[in-house]
Structures are given as C-alpha cells and as structure tokens.
Amino acid sequence: MGVTANGDGADDGGGNGAGAEPGHPVVWLFDEYARPHWKQLVGGLSFSTVEQIPARLPPVLVGVAIDAVLLNTGPFRLPLVPDAWLPTEMADQLTVLIALLVGSFAAVALVNYFGRRVLGRFGQSFQHEIRTEVFDTVQRLEMGYFDDHDTGEVMSVLNDDVQEVQTLVFGVLARGSTMTMTAVATYAYMLWLNWQLAVVLAVVPFALFALSYWFSNWIEPKHMAVRERVGDLNSRLNNNVDGVSVIKTFGTERAERERVRDASGDLRTAQWDAHWAQATMDPVSRTVSQLARVITLLVGGIWVLTGPPLFFTGTLTPGALFTFYVFVGSLLTAMQGIAEVVDGYQNGKAAATRLRDIVANDSVAERRDAAELADPEGAVAYDDVTFSYPGRDEPTLDGVTFDVEPGDTVGIVGSTGAGKSTILKLLLRFYDPDSGAVRVDGTDVRDVTVESLRESIGYVSQDPFLFYGAVRENIAYADPDADEETVVEAAKLAGAHEFVAELPDGYDTQVGERGVKLSGGQRQRVSIARAIVRDPAILVLDEATSHVDNETEVLIQRTLDELAADRTTFLVAHRLSTVRDADRIIVVDDGEVVERGTHEDLLARDGLYANLWNVQVGDVTALPDSFLRRVRRGDTA
C-alpha cells in the first residue's frame, strides 16, 4: 500500500467554507464567490449608477424649453454650463435643447446596455460559482446531515436560495445603487432649481421611506410563513410522488388527498394574509406619494400665479414647476425603491445564511493534511470502535475489534438491527467512530482523503440505487470510460449478463427512475457489477444478494470466489449460506462482536451462530430455550 502526502490539501475545492467565518452572511457570500469576478461587479454597478445622471436631464431640458423658449419668461440657462457658451437666438436654443435631449436619451441607452451586459454576466457567473460550489459541498456532507434533513429541504437551498442570489445582485446591489443615485441626482437637481421647495418637500419621501421600511418589517414574518407553508406542501407532494406505490397498495389516495388539501389550505391562508397586508399597504403608500404631487402642484401653482406663498421667497417659473413636479415623482419612486431594496436584502440575507449553514456544515471534516490512500492491499482493522448515531443514547457499536488480512473474505452476521451495516458504514466514513479507530492498511481512515478511501472500496448496499439511464451507464458509473468488454465482464461476474442480454435493448435498456423497470434482484446484480467495474481492493456486499433467488445466488456465489480471490471482501447476510465459505465469520449482537471463526468453528461453539444456522436448516429441535425466548422478543434475525 502507499499513503502519499496530499500537498495541496484535499480540502481546497474553491469556495469551500469548511471553516466559514461567522461574520455577515452576505459579506461572506460575496467574499467567498464574487472575488474572481469583482471587476465585472464594479464595472456593472458603475454603469448603472452613472446612467442616472443623463436619465435626470430630460425634465430639466423640457422645463428650460417651457420657460426660455415657449413662454419666453426667463433666461436660457443650463446646469453646469457657463451662460457664455449658450446661444442667444431662440431657434438655436431650441436646437441645442433637442440635441441635448437626444444626446441624453442616447447616453442612457448606451450606458444602460453596457451596465446590463456587464452586471448580467457577473450575476450569472456569481450564481454559477455558488451553485457548483454549494452542490460540491452537499456531495461531501457526511451521511448524518442527510439523516436529519429531507431531500426537499436540501433541494430548496440548491434551487431557491441559489436563485435568490440573483435578487441580491440585481434587486439589491444594482437597484440599491441605482435608486440611491436617482434620489441623490434628483434631489441635487431639485435643490439647484428651487432649494426652498426642495427642502420642504424632502419630508414626504422620507416619510414614505419610513413607512415602507416599517411595512417591510411588518410583512416579513408573513412572507416567511408563506415560504414555510410552500416547503411543507412541497415535502408532502415529494413524499407522495416518491411513495406512490405504497399509496396505491394501501389504497390511501383519499387520505393523501386530504393531507395535500390541508397543506394547500394552510398555504392559502398564509398567502392571503400576506396578500391582504400588501393590498392594504399599496393604497396607503400610493396616497402619500400622490399627496406629495398635489402639494407640489398646489404650492407651485400659487407661487407661479401670485408670487411666493407662506414663508417662501423668490420666483418660480412654470418650466421649473414642471421639472419639479416630474422630479418629485422620481424621488418618491426612488425612496420606495430603496425600501424595497431593504426588503430584498432581508430575503437575500436569509438565503445567504442558509447557503453558509450548508457550506459550514461541511461535516466530512477531511483533515487539511489528509493523505492519498494509493493502491491499498486491503488490510482492515477495527480497533475498539464505539459509535452512537446522533441523538441516540445507547451506543450502536460497542468495543468492536477485529482484523482482516488483505484478500480475506469476512462474513458479518447477526440479528436485525445488531449493527452490521453500521460497522461497514464506518469503514466508508459515512460516519466517524466516537472512540477507537478503523484502519485500512494500518492507517486510520480519518487520516486519508475521503475520495481515495472510497475509490478503494466497492460498496453494494441492501437497497441499491440505480440512476435514470441505460444499464450500461449504470454499470460503468464509477468509470464512464470503461469499454464494452469491461462492462460485460463485470456483468458476468455479478450474474447479470444473462438477464441484461434478454432485455429489449440489452445493455442500452433504460432502467427508469431509480431502476424501477428492473426487479429487486436485477437491480442488486447491476449494482454488484457497478462495484466490480471499479476493481476495488475492498469489496463490501451488504445484503447484496438478499433479493435474488437461491439459484441465482448459487451462480453469484461461484463468481464471488473469483471476485473475492484477490480482494478483501465483506459479506453481510441473513442467509447464512452466503457467508458459509468465508475465511472468517463475525457474529454481531447488539452492537458487540460476540463470536468469530469459520463456519465449522462457530457450529462447534454451539452459540448464537449455531442457533441461527439451525433455524435456517430447519433443525428447530436443536434450538435452546434461551434462543427461542429471544426470537419471541423479536430481536433475532
């Protein structure tokens, strides 16, 4: 065997936040995933911010046109342009105004085009980066995570929360900077036009902003409730579609329909609550903003017609009133927009928190200095291993100790729930022991990279999962480049070739979702072939032939000798004939190894194994009373 140092650290899959800093989730998100694209981000935001300057120009130009050209009631003046540069002839003035109007439209269009392009590119790359890195992390999460989180929940983070990132970029960053710039630019123009009116009217947008902000806090729990109800309904729908065969066999369609109806009813109530709140708020904020327009027109109209009212001084021209009226609208829209940005930010922050929680949950906890397990010989040792599943008080494994020589075949037998599968899951590092160690070729499995460890092990579980696709793709799953000969050879060794050859399209036959178009025994054989293709040093067959008939098992047994000849093989089985010829059999009872030896040794010992054997060969008279009492209690296989 060889254990080689993995110089660059196995845990460097960009963006992997195994040690994600606590800090602010949104800052973390950008720091972690936006860095490679920061130029696009800065460029895009600059474009969309700068765009607001020419975008505010048209009302000013029209205002000047009304006063200086159409009504001829004031001088021809433009902001930031020295009077000496401006024409004195009215026709020339109109031409200049129209040229500037066209120029401002063109500038807005051009800057907007570049802004959208650059920021759009950033948004897509940022989202892509997050999606792939978070998916990568999800793949490396330890099994304990999936025991506690249902598929719908994980899918919702991978789909909805990653989608929400777009809102953070466009709805918060881009819109936030645009709206802020609009508010600043508009207000600056308003101050330039008539500072007194601008100061007085400033109260309205701020009141509107405060109102919107209060409203977004008020409605947030309602939105949250809607999201939770959507999650509940999705989980229920998911479960029903996944468990459709159970529903049909039990004829529980009516009960399921009621449950879906209830979940949908809860969603309807939550949605109505949020909708009602929104529907109440809209007219309120609309009234406030309309009021600001009315006040502008009222005060401004009196001012234009009869001179400055109340405490105002100076003059207000009709053109300036027009510009002001338009700007008040822009300012109100901008302030409302900023409040919505705050709302969007809260959603984005919640999504970023969930994404960070997943990434920080990178509980495979691969050591930074983990080594590669290269070409192991296949010696396996369990050294006083104790393990409890999270949330369980009683240890599932207690002081499990045994050694396996390279190339040996070991049978693991015992009662249902004794801990047989758990022993092997620790070898694969689906879980880590609470104390003690599992070693491969003398190296603790926690000291090697998870990838190299699992590459050395071919694992076939009790209920194998086949991927949607052809038989061939499923067999060649671990090695997509495997040639026809390798695939067929593996299928022959797994006792699958005969039935595959008889399928309508042979190795190209589609197996359906999760392999639904194959029988349980056929699925098991395809998955054994899949494990063999990898040519692993260690082969783990966990009840891998439980669904095949006795005749097929005999065939698999024969090839198993060939298969197991040069690799360490673990066989977990209730059917003891499967393990009879193993070099050693380990008998597990209630998480402890209670007997070990060859089939003959164990029969001679006349202990638990001998009793299990007598049950299977039908020699009931040989069973002691103590064993029969156990069977009655229901804790024996």
d(CA 83, CA 381): 91
Cα–Cα distance for residue pair 164/347, rounded to 1 Å: 8
Residue 633 contacts ligand ATP per CB under 6 A:
no
| Of residues 93-152, those binding ligand ATP (CB under 6 A) | 147
DSSP letter for 51, please: T
**By the rule CB under 6 A, 422 interacts with ligand ATP:** yes
Pick the closest to residue 429 from 391, 403, 402, 457 (CA basis). Answer: 457
262 binds ligand ATP (CB under 6 A): no
Dihedrals phi, psi of 409, to nearest 5 degrees: -110, 125
In angstroms, what is the minimal distance from the CB of 373 to ligand ATP? 24
C-alpha–C-alpha distance, residues 492 and 501, integer Å: 11
Residue 621 structure tokens: 């008279």
325-344 positions binding ligand ATP, by CB under 6 A: none
> 521 and 547 in contact (C-beta within 8 Å)?
yes
Contact between 435 and ligand ATP by CB under 6 A: the answer reads: no
Beta bridge partners of 570: 410, 540
Strand pairing class (409-414; 538-542)? unpaired
Residue 416 in contact with ligand ATP, rule: CB under 6 A: yes
| Residue 331 vs 457, nearer CB to ligand ATP | 457
Q: Pick from 132, 235, 333, 421 the residue near ligand ATP by CB under 6 A.
A: 421
How many chain residues bind ligand ATP (CB under 6 A)? 12
Q: What's the closest the beta carbon of residue 595 comes to ligand ATP, in angstroms?
A: 15
Closer residue to ligand ATP, CB minimum distance, 138 or 572: 572
Considering only 193, 418, 531, 560, the residue that binds ligand ATP (CB under 6 A) is 418
From 118-126, 248-256, 410-418, 477-485, span contacting ligand ATP (CB under 6 A): 410-418
Among 17, 344, 378, 419, contact with ligand ATP (rule: CB under 6 A): 419
Report the distance separating Cα 164 and Cα 158, nearest Å. Answer: 10
Ranges within 587-606 binding ligand ATP (CB under 6 A):
none
380-387 and 435-440 as β-strands: parallel, antiparallel, unpaired? antiparallel
What angle separates helix 90-140 from helix 57-64, to the nearest 10 degrees?
Answer: 170
The residue among 59 and 414 lying less far from ligand ATP, judged by its C-beta, is 414
In the chain the first and final C-alpha atoms are separated, in Å, by 37
One residue of 105, 145, 389, 402 binding ligand ATP per CB under 6 A: 389
- The stretch near ligand ATP (CB under 6 A) out of 29-37, 44-52, 411-419, 469-477 is 411-419
**Separation of alpha carbons 300 and 321, rounded Å:** 6
The binding track of 74-93 with respect to ligand ATP, each residue x by CB under 6 A or -, is --------------------
In the chain, DSSP finds a helix count (H) and a strand count (E) of 23, 12
Please, which residues bridge with residue 507 across strands? Answer: none
Pairwise CA distance, residues 530 & 459, whole Å: 9
User: Least Å distance between CB 538 and ligand ATP?
Assistant: 18
**How many Å is the maximal CA-CA distance in the chain?**
122
Of residues 36, 417, 442, 624, which one binds ligand ATP by CB under 6 A? 417
In the complex, the smallest distance separating the C-beta of residue 608 from ligand ATP, rounded to whole angstroms, is: 13
Burial class (CB in 10 A: 0-12, 13-18, 19+), 506: middle
Q: Does 461 bind ligand ATP (CB under 6 A)?
A: no
C-beta of 183 vs 418, nearer to ligand ATP: 418
Tokens 């409203």 sit at which residue?
Answer: 215
* Residue 392 contacts ligand ATP per CB under 6 A: yes
Q: Which stretch binds ligand ATP (CB under 6 A): 94-102, 209-217, 419-427, 621-629?
A: 419-427
Question: Where does this chain touch ligand ATP (CB under 6 A) — which range of 60-68, 336-344, 388-396, 487-495?
Answer: 388-396
Q: Under the rule (CB under 6 A), what is the footprint of ligand ATP? A: 147, 389, 392, 396, 414, 416-422
